[in-house]
């Protein structure tokens, strides 16, 4: 199954308590923003952060998608967060530390009762060992679920593992998450790269995530946006090759053949589906640039 989601190459977290960052976000080249009320916000600052985010959503973030990470419903703030954003201008609600379908269903029911817009979707953070074992249950919990977001910091902590350059400690979890996301038609976003000054490490992590099938990468600082946009978007060469593949295949079909060969490579219908996905993504990214 091929699903074309909106571009989410770069998905930048910012603490809701940081009004400077919320303002700065309106000028950044990130495709999506996660306005955070959870781990990046101290308990004493949660209520003020909620108000900051509500105010920032009112003026909007241009073409950038704005999603709000609420606190878990098992915390003192979760239910109030959810009702505050149910009728806001947020594009989605991110639910942290999801471990069961019922957590997603509870959020969906609360949004329905609050009369939330039908296009307000839910994203689930996958960041605990139990979440990995419940991936299929979570992914099929509710039609409002749109994306799985890997929380590799929490996962590594819960595993008693260590962050390594190869990410061997999370590869199984990353791979299972991509498999399940694709099987259920969901968007899937890779975890953050914590070392702010390690550009080479970020580059390798972007390449690895892209090659595994992730749609994009979650980020913690504006300086990480450019690399994520570069590696999770189609390159000019990939766009040209996709166009050439489609043209070669169309010519083969016109000539009565079912397959084509271009530059010594076999082209079948499945390659055309992938070429069309690449071109649709490139077109959507181009429309961002003109907005």
Ligand X SMILES: CC(C)(COP(=O)(O)OP(=O)(O)OC[C@H]1O[C@@H](n2cnc3c(N)ncnc32)[C@H](O)[C@@H]1OP(=O)(O)O)[C@@H](O)C(=O)NCCC(=O)NCCSC(=O)C[C@H](O)C(=O)O
Q: Given its phi and psi angles, is residue 94 left (phi above 0), alpha (psi -120 to 50 degrees) or beta?
A: beta
Question: Rule CB under 6 A: is residue 57 a binding residue for ligand X?
Answer: no
Q: Pick from ligand X, Mg ion, none: which does 278 bind, CB < 5 to 8 A by kind? A: none
154 annotated among ligand-binding-site residues: yes
Closest contact distance (angstroms) between CB of 261 and ligand X is 45
What is the Cα–Cα distance from 113 to 107, expressed in whole angstroms?
A: 10
Beta strands 32-36 and 10-15 are parallel
Residue 32 partner contact from Mg ion, ligand X, none using kind-dependent CB cut-offs of 5 to 8 Å: none
Using CB under 6 A as the binding rule, whether residue 234 contacts ligand X is answered as: no
> Residue 82 or 173: which CB sits closer to ligand X?
173
Task: Specify whether the CB–CB gap between 178 and 214 falls below 8 A.
Answer: yes
Joined tokens for residue 157: 């902590």
Could you tell me the smallest distance in angstroms from the CB atom of residue 92 to ligand X?
Answer: 15
Q: Restricting to residues 166-225, which ones interact with ligand X according to CB under 6 A?
A: 191-192, 220-222
Quote the least distance from Cβ 111 to ligand X, whole Å: 22
Candidate ranges 148-156, 235-243, 248-256, 278-286; the one touching ligand X (CB under 6 A) = 148-156
Quote the tokens at residue 48: 């003020």
Using CB under 6 A as the criterion, what x/- string covers residues 32-51 for binding ligand X? ----x--xx-----------
Contact of residue 222 among ligand X, Mg ion, none (CB under 5-8 Å per partner type): ligand X
Compute and round to an integer the Cα radius of gyration of the chain.
20
Burial category of 244 from C-beta neighbours within 10 Å (exposed 0-12, middle 13-18, buried 19 and up)? middle
For residue 50, say whether it is annotated as part of any ligand binding site: no
CA angle 158, 161, 167 (to 5 degrees): 115
Cα–Cα nearest to 103, from 85, 118, 125, 83: 125
Q: Which residues pair with 11 in a beta bridge?
A: 32, 218
162 interacts with ligand X by CB under 6 A:
no
Residues belonging to the binding site for substrate are 69, 127
- Which residues in this chain contact ligand X in the complex, by CB under 6 A? 12-15, 20-21, 24-25, 36, 39-40, 125, 127, 151-154, 191-192, 220-222
């Amino acid at each position: 199954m091929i699903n074309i989601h909106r571009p989410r190459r770069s998905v930048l977290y910012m603490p809701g308590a940081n009004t400077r960052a919320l303002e700065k976000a309106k000028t950044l080249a990130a495709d999506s923003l996660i306005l955070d009320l959870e781990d990046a916000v101290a308990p004493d600052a949660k209520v003020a952060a909620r108000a900051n985010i509500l105010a920032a959503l009112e003026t909007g973030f241009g073409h950038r998608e704005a999603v709000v990470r609420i606190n878990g419903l098992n915390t003192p703030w979760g239910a109030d967060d959810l009702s505050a954003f149910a009728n806001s201008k947020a594009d989605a609600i991110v639910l942290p530390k999801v471990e069961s379908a019922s957590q997603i269903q509870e959020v969906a029911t609360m949004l329905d009762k609050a009369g939330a817009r039908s296009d307000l979707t839910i994203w689930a953070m996958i960041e605990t060992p139990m979440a990995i074992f419940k991936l299929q249950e979570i992914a099929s919990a509710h039609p409002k679920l749109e994306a799985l977001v890997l929380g590799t910091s929490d996962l590594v902590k819960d595993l008693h593992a260590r962050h390594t350059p190869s990410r061997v400690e999370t590869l199984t979890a990353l791979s299972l998450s991509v498999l399940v996301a694709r099987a259920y038609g969901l968007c899937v976003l890779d975890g953050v790269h914590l070392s702010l000054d390690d550009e080479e490490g970020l580059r390798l992590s972007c390449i690895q995530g892209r090659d595994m099938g992730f749609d994009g990468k979650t980020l913690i600082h504006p300086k990480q946006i450019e690399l994520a946009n570069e590696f999770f978007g189609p390159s000019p060469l990939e766009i040209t090759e996709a166009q050439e593949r489609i043209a070669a295949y169309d010519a083969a079909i016109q000539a009565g053949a079912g397959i084509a060969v271009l530059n010594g490579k076999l082209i079948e219908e499945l390659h055309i589906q992938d070429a069309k996905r690449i071109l649709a993504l490139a077109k959507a990214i181009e429309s961002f640039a003109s907005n």
